[in-house]
């Protein structure tokens, strides 16, 4: 009598979303789907359209790649997916009887930006009683809000760049006062949507004459805008993973981003469309003491925000050797050529093993408040 083979762990990979980072989320999902072991895991690819509709999507990584400059997008023609309490999945197609896909053991949320990375999806999964990869509601929300993030990092004793928060109402009512506060940061400054990523809506502003336009452009992504002082230094990054079995978080080797003179900063085109304009040095060419200090600070930042699963901590390394925490990204870009997986590959954990570890730590995590 043949023994029944063990049931594969069922994973719902969720990607796309309503934010301006929809396409980047699709690219990330394509990379993850290409390495999840189908012998161990039963994969259910779920796309979220730009309108917010959940659909049973194609799991073909080729369809989720940037091809000849074309950005991928979730096709919302598939059957609508409903996540029921108790981690069940149901597909509803027009004119058809709803069909059950079965229970999901863990969700791998690969959405970037608002409505996915910011705690909203995490809250939905908590309510449904479903385990998921990555940080919980609090850390996800804080990690998405650059203003709140800086406050918590600063209060934890970590150095951050000075900034001014510009909210839409305050900008309309107290523009002169806020402009004066921004001028105290010194020119140039960087204007950023408070709750967006992938350099969406980010601008370098050299003087007050260009400030209005830059803030208006950032407000197209978020009514809350952060204006930061420009920090002279090298851009270095460190990956952090939740410890296995309750152990302390682990930090990767340090990496450095170098961009060509064609870009004033690490903008969207440099990140995703013009790869030849960017050089990733892994490990970064820095003194061993500096690298170790950055790794300790990365773990401290991870813990200060109550992160889980994974995070990428970005720094500025000043010419005098001091480090400034730029931000903590709770769902960093995750394609095979993204900084986060490459950092861990150089640290001895290849792409497939990295994905597997993140799934395992999510499965080990208890449900409910933690």
Residues labelled catalytic: 21, 198, 272, 312, 314, 327, 329, 333
Cα 46 to Cα 26, 54, 150, 295, 343, distances in angstroms:
11, 7, 33, 35, 28
Instruction: Say if residues 47 and 72 touch (Cβ distance below 8 Å).
Output: no
Instruction: Say if residues 332 and 254 touch (Cβ distance below 8 Å).
Output: no
Q: Which two tokens stand for residue 159?
A: 């150095």
Cα atoms in the Cβ-side hemisphere of radius 13 Å centred on 261: 0
CA 267 to chain centre: 15
Sign of CA dihedral 128, 353, 280, 321: positive
SS3 call for 152: helix
The count of residues in the chain is 370
Cα 216 to Cα 144, 167, 206, 222, distances in angstroms:
20, 11, 16, 10
**DSSP string for 287-352:** -HHHHHHHHHHHHHHHHHTT--SEEEEEEEE-TTS-EEEEEEESS---STTSHHHHHHHHTT--HH
- Beta strand 41-48 with 9-16: parallel, antiparallel or unpaired? parallel
């Amino acid at each position: 009598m043949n023994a029944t083979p063990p049931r594969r762990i069922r994973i719902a990979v969720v990607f796309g979303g309503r934010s301006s980072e929809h396409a980047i989320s699709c690219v990330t999902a394509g990379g993850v789907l290409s390495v999840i072991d189908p012998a161990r895991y039963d994969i259910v690819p779920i796309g979220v359209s730009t309108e917010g509709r959940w659909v049973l999507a194609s799991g073909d990584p080729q369809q989720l790649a940037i091809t000849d400059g074309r950005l991928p997008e979730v096709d919302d023609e598939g059957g609508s997916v409903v996540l029921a309490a108790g981690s069940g999945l149901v597909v509803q197609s027009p004119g058809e009887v709803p069909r059950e896909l079965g229970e999901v053991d863990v969700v791998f949320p690969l959405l970037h930006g608002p409505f996915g990375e910011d705690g909203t999806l995490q809250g939905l999964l908590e309510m449904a009683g479903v385990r998921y990869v990555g940080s919980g509601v609090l850390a996800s929300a804080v990690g998405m809000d650059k203003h709140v993030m800086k406050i918590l990092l600063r209060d934890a004793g970590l150095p951050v760049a000075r900034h001014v928060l510009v909210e839409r109402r305050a900008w309309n009512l107290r523009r002169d006062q806020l402009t004066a506060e921004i001028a105290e940061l010194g020119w140039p400054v960087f204007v950023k949507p408070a709750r967006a990523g992938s350099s969406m809506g980010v601008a370098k502003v050299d003087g007050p004459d260009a400030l209005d336009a830059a803030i208006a452009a950032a407000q197209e992504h978020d009514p809350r805008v952060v204006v930061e002082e420009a920090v002279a230094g090298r851009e270095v990054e460190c990956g952090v993973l939740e410890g296995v079995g309750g152990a302390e978080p682990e930090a990767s080797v340090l990496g450095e981003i170098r961009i060509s003179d064609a870009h004033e900063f690490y903008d969207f085109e440099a990140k995703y469309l013009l790869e030849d304009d960017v050089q990733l040095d892994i490990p970064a060419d820095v003194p061993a003491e500096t690298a170790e200090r950055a790794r300790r600070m990365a773990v401290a930042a991870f813990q200060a925000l109550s992160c889980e699963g994974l995070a990428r901590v970005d720094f500025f390394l000043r010419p005098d050797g001091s480090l400034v925490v730029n931000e903590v990204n709770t769902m960093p870009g995750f394609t095979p050529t993204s900084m986060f997986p490459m950092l861990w590959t150089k640290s001895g954990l290849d792409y497939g093993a990295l994905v597997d570890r993140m799934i395992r730590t999510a499965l080990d995590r208890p449900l409910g408040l933690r």
